């Protein structure tokens, strides 16, 4: 091939690419473009993975009407605004920002793109075109607490926790209330690792708790390392965000699994038929925003029945995770008999209930 | 009180395990720096070693093959650094930082197919009678092979550096590369070999995490341990025994603070999380407070570029 023909070939290729590109955009224009922003890698098999499962469910359900894009590993900071802006500028009409730290960047970009709809997970600031959504994960912790209360022999539960924010603290409390309802002698020991994801440190925390006598390890961090540690020591564990059974088949009692599939499909449909509104959604078991991973076959049938009953009662509204009387560590009744914690109380929770050792770090 | 005392044994055992990845990486980097090269890419090399060790173990089912792969992969990553800084005279600090970023990305790419796969950890030593000894049994006789290997590497590195001719030459190259060159030593070749050794040790440190400590692959799973290893080398004033002391101290305080939290002692957990860094730096600075001696230990040509014709 001489230089001239090569030049021509290149020109031809460029022309073909340009045509392909314009066809691509034309096709995309007919479809609703939906963007997703994740804080972690979709391969984390935990939090971001579950959000991406939701995206895939949208593709599967509405694939002929939507085109989805995702950006993973987006740090919670100035970079997030750039990524969200990029999605908005490239024609995405609905954008899900899936981590708490994306709150302010989402609102800033939303102001500049009033015709784009935004959905921010786990936040509390809304606007005309910004909706918020989250799941009542504490409901899952209530069921898990009851199971742990029945399974523990040492009456010490080890809790590997990430950061002392209300979501995690309310989870510890919901767990402890249900635990002690089944087993008043049981206590919860909490170790904060100050990270969402550090397998080494999560293992060290689980080991420390086990050495102090814990025989059930519960976690509110994202890696399956605590499950592996518990499996190694022939003790029980509870998974977080996704089904972690394969990391400790003997140890894994169940896991509290996030499920965004139904919500994401509903919201995309709402945009498609024009009924979308900037509302706040905080759903639990009944809204199918979380579920429990398959129970370990080693759990006795009566405990499974108990767990299922508690779950059913939560779904029917017969039972609330923070149903009075709830006492704090000093024995003071914070939620009186006959009442349940308000959403506001749960969203601002910064105190431990009776039965948790230590103090909430301030 | 006896409940708290009975925790000493588990804390000691956990301390040695927690210190192992730091010890591998820091000993490797110590040799590299003694030859006059500063490689800030430890974190990246650890990650590449971690993912390759894990992947090969999963594929072949053989842990020794995995360890070999981890060391080789770490050394290969380091070879890239050597090529750029020793061959093409690129800036060592910038290249090292780039190597870490590169290692994070490369390991994530290689690891995509291996996320979410569990692995069985390495077997632990169990000598009936000895392993069951109170307090020290589990710490001394109940660890796995890599923990002992890391500790064994400390006297070996020390003996190599201070008792062998090759070690003397390596130190001479690090102190004054022009003089070593004038004496006929191959400065570039010696440094390149040191860099390869550093990479292999970092790779092993990473593999300890992915194959044994938390037997799984997860992106960025070293979580900053490479940087701690780098800091240990400097604060230990380039002495192998002090590196070990520093790694044990760091591991020990990390484990102890988790226990303190579990026992419900009323100290803010954020403060406790800071404690390992604080204690390690403080102790090592106190040991090396003699400025003149510290200067003697620091390789005079650290980070300086060398070209035989210059």
Q: What does pTM read for this prediction?
A: 0.84
Percent of chain A with pLDDT over 70: 92
Q: B220's torsion region: left (phi>0), alpha (psi -120 to 50) or beta?
A: left
- Radius of gyration of chain B from Cα atoms? 20
The stretch A333-356 carries a mean pLDDT of 92
**Within-domain flag for B82:** yes
Do A324 and A194 fall into the same domain?
yes
Q: What rounded mean pLDDT belongs to chain A?
A: 89
Do A252 and A158 fall into the same domain?
yes
**pLDDT grade for B3, boundaries at 50, 70 and 90:** low
Contact between B239 and B297 under an 8 Å Cβ cutoff? The reply is yes
**Within-domain flag for A6:** no
Is A43 part of the contact surface with chain B (CB cutoff 8 Å)?
yes
Q: Which residues of A touch B254 (CB under 8 A)?
A: 201, 204
Do A130 and A149 fall into the same domain?
no
Domain extent, residue B222, equals 2-297
pLDDT in tens, A136-173: 999 999 999 999 999 999 999 999 999 888 889 999 99
Do A158 and A217 fall into the same domain?
yes
pLDDT in tens, A99-141: 888 999 999 999 999 999 999 998 888 999 999 999 999 999 9
Bridge-based pairing of strands A130-135 and A117-121 is parallel
pLDDT in tens, A179-224: 999 999 999 999 999 888 888 999 999 999 999 999 999 999 988 9
Q: What rounded mean pLDDT belongs to chain B?
A: 90
Do A31 and A114 fall into the same domain?
yes
Q: Taken in order B143, B16, A224, B48, is the CA torsion positive or negative?
A: negative
Do A202 and A295 fall into the same domain?
yes
Is A157 part of the contact surface with chain B (CB cutoff 8 Å)?
no
Is B91 part of the contact surface with chain A (CB cutoff 8 Å)?
no
**Within-domain flag for A218:** yes
Do A93 and A207 fall into the same domain?
no
What are the angstrom distances between the C-alpha of B15 and each of A39, A235, A292, B246, B274?
Answer: 32, 21, 35, 12, 17
Nearest to A211 among B7, B18, B266 (CB): B7
Q: Do A247 and B18 touch (CB under 8 A)?
A: no
Bridge-based pairing of strands A117-121 and A94-97 is parallel
Total domains present in chain B: 1
ipTM score of complex: 0.84
**Within-domain flag for B168:** yes
**Within-domain flag for A2:** no
User: How far off is chain B from A171, nearest CA to CA, in Å?
Assistant: 17
Boundary residue ending a domain (A76, A103, A135): A135
Percent of chain B with pLDDT over 90: 63
Angle (CA) A337 A338 A344, round 5°: 90
Do A233 and A312 fall into the same domain?
yes
Is the pLDDT reported for residue B277 higher than 90? no
Nearest to A200 among B108, B223, B268 (CB): B223
The stretch B257-267 carries a mean pLDDT of 85
Nearest to B258 among A195, A204, A358 (CB): A204
Q: Taken in order B104, B105, B106, B107, is the CA torsion positive or negative?
A: positive
**Within-domain flag for B304:** no
**Within-domain flag for A215:** yes
Is the pLDDT reported for residue A254 higher than 70? yes
**Within-domain flag for A285:** no
Give the model's pLDDT for residue A340.
92
**Within-domain flag for B309:** no
Is A280 part of the contact surface with chain B (CB cutoff 8 Å)?
no
Do A91 and A175 fall into the same domain?
no
Q: What is the DSSP letter of A285?
A: G
Is A195 part of the contact surface with chain B (CB cutoff 8 Å)?
yes
Domain extent, residue A308, equals 137-257+291-347
Q: Which residues of A touch B121 (CB under 8 A)?
A: 228, 232
Measured CA to CA, the distance from residue A104 to residue A100 in angstroms comes to 9
Size of interface A-B (CB pairs under 8 A): 118
pLDDT in tens, A18-62: 333 333 343 445 789 999 999 888 876 778 889 999 999 999 999
Give the model's pLDDT for residue A18.
39
What is the full DSSP assignment across A107-157? HHHHHH-TTSEEEEET----BTTEEEEEE-HHHHHHHHHHHHHHH-SSSEE
Do A216 and A191 fall into the same domain?
yes
- Radius of gyration of chain A from Cα atoms? 23
Contact between A190 and A222 under an 8 Å Cβ cutoff? The reply is no
Selected residue of B2, B46, B104, B116 to mutate for chain A interface (largest A Cβ count, 10 A): B116
Nearest to A199 among B216, B255, B265 (CB): B216
What is the full DSSP assignment across B119-177? ---PPBP--TTTTTSTTTHHHHHS-BHHHHHHHHHHHHHHHHHHHSHHHHHHHHHHH-H
Q: Do B258 and A205 touch (CB under 8 A)?
A: yes
Collapse the DSSP code of B248 into the 3-class scheme (helix H, G, I; strand E, B; otherwise coil) and give the result.
helix
Total domains present in chain A: 2
**Cβ neighbours for A138, distance < 8 A, ≥ 6 positions apart:** A170, A171, A173, A174, A321, A322, A346
Is the pLDDT reported for residue A2 higher than 50? no
The mean-pLDDT minimum among A39-53, A77-91, B168-182, B279-293 falls in B279-293
CA neighbor of A205 nearest in space, from A162, A170, A247: A162
Is the pLDDT reported for residue A12 higher than 70? no
Do A130 and A170 fall into the same domain?
no
Nearest to B14 among A193, A204, A246 (CB): A204
pLDDT in tens, B152-197: 999 999 999 999 999 999 999 999 999 999 999 999 999 999 999 9
Q: Which residues of A touch B264 (CB under 8 A)?
A: 189, 357-359
Measured CA to CA, the distance from residue A148 to residue A306 in angstroms comes to 12
The CATH code of the domain that includes B126 is: 1.10.3470
pLDDT in tens, B198-220: 999 999 999 999 999 999 998 88
Percent of chain B with pLDDT over 70: 98
**Within-domain flag for B302:** no
Give the model's pLDDT for residue B219.
85
Rank A76-85, A331-340, B199-208 by mean pLDDT and report only the highest: B199-208
For residue A208, the surrounding DSSP H or E stretch is: helix A199-211
Measured CA to CA, the distance from residue B16 to residue B274 in angstroms comes to 20
The CATH code of the domain that includes A113 is: 3.40.50.2300
Boundary residue ending a domain (A113, A135, A157): A135
pLDDT in tens, B42-95: 999 999 999 999 999 999 999 999 999 999 999 999 999 999 999 999 999 999
């Amino acid at each position: 091939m001489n230089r001239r023909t090569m030049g021509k070939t290149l020109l031809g290729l460029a022309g073909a690419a340009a045509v392909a590109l314009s066809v691509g955009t034309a096709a995309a224009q007919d479809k609703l473009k939906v963007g997703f922003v994740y804080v972690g890698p979709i391969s984390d098999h935990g939090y971001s993975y579950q959000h991406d499962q939701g995206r895939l469910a949208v593709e599967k359900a509405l694939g002929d009407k939507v085109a989805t894009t995702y950006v993973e590993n987006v740090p919670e900071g100035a970079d997030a605004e750039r990524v969200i802006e990029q999605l908005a500028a490239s024609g995405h009409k609905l954008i899900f920002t899936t981590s708490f730290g994306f709150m302010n960047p989402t609102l800033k970009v939303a102001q500049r793109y009033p015709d784009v709809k935004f959905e921010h997970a786990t936040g509390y600031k809304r606007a005309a075109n910004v909706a918020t959504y989250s799941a009542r994960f504490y409901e899952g912790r209530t069921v898990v607490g009851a199971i742990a209360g029945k399974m523990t022999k040492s009456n010490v539960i080890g809790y590997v926790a990430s950061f002392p924010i209300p979501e995690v603290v309310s989870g510890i409390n919901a767990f402890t209330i249900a635990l002690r309802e089944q087993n008043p002698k049981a206590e919860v020991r909490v170790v904060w690792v100050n990270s969402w994801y550090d397998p080494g440190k999560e293992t060290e925390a689980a080991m420390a708790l086990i050495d102090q006598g814990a025989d059930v390890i519960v976690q509110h961090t994202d890696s399956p390392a605590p499950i592996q540690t518990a499996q190694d020591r022939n003790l029980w564990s509870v998974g977080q965000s996704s089904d972690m059974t394969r990391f400790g088949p003997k140890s894994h009692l169940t896991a509290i699994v996030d499920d965004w599939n139904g919500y994401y499909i509903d919201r995309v449909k709402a945009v498609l038929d024009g009924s979308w509104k900037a509302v706040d959604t905080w759903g639990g078991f009944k809204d199918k925003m979380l579920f429990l991973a398959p129970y370990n076959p080693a759990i006795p049938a009566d405990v499974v029945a108990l767990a299922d009953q508690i779950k059913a009662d939560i779904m029917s509204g017969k039972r609330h995770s923070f149903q009075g009387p709830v006492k704090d560590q000093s024995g003071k009744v914070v939620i009186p008999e006959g009442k349940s914690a308000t959403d506001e109380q749960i969203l601002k929770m910064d105190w431990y209930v009776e039965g948790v050792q230590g103090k909430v770090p301030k | 009180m006896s409940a708290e005392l009975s925790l000493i044994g588990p804390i000691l055992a956990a301390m040695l395990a927690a210190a192992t990845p730091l010890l591998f990486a820091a000993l490797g980097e110590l040799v590299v720096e003694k030859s006059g090269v500063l490689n800030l890419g430890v974190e990246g090399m650890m990650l590449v070693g971690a993912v390759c060790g894990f992947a090969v173990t999963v594929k072949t089912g053989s842990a020794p093959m995995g360890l070999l792969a981890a060391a080789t992969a770490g050394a290969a990553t380091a070879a890239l650094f050597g090529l750029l800084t020793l061959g093409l005279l690129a800036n060592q600090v910038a290249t090292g930082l780039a190597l870490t970023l590169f290692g994070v990305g490369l390991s994530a790419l290689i690891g995509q197919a291996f996320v979410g796969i569990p692995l069985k950890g390495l077997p632990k030593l169990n000598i009936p009678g000895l392993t069951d000894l109170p307090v020290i049994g589990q710490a001394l006789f109940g660890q796995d092979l890599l923990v002992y290997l890391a500790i064994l590497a400390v006297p070996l590195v020390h003996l190599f550096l201070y008792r062998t001719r090759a070690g003397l030459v390596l130190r001479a190259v690090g102190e004054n590369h022009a003089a070593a060159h004038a004496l006929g030593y191959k400065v570039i070749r010696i440094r390149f070999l040191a860099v390869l050794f550093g990479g292999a040790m970092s790779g092993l440190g990473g593999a300890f995490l992915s194959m044994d400590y938390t037997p799984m692959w997860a992106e960025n799973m070293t979580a900053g341990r490479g940087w701690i290893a780098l800091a240990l080398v400097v604060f230990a004033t380039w002495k192998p025994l002090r590196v070990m002391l520093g790694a044990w101290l760091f591991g020990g305080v990390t484990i102890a603070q988790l226990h303190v939290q579990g026992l419900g002692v009323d100290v803010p957990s954020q403060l406790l999380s800071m404690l390992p860094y604080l204690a390690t730096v403080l102790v090592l600075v106190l040991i090396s407070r003699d400025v003149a001696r510290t200067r003697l230990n620091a390789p005079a040509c650290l980070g300086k570029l060398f070209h035989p014709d210059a």
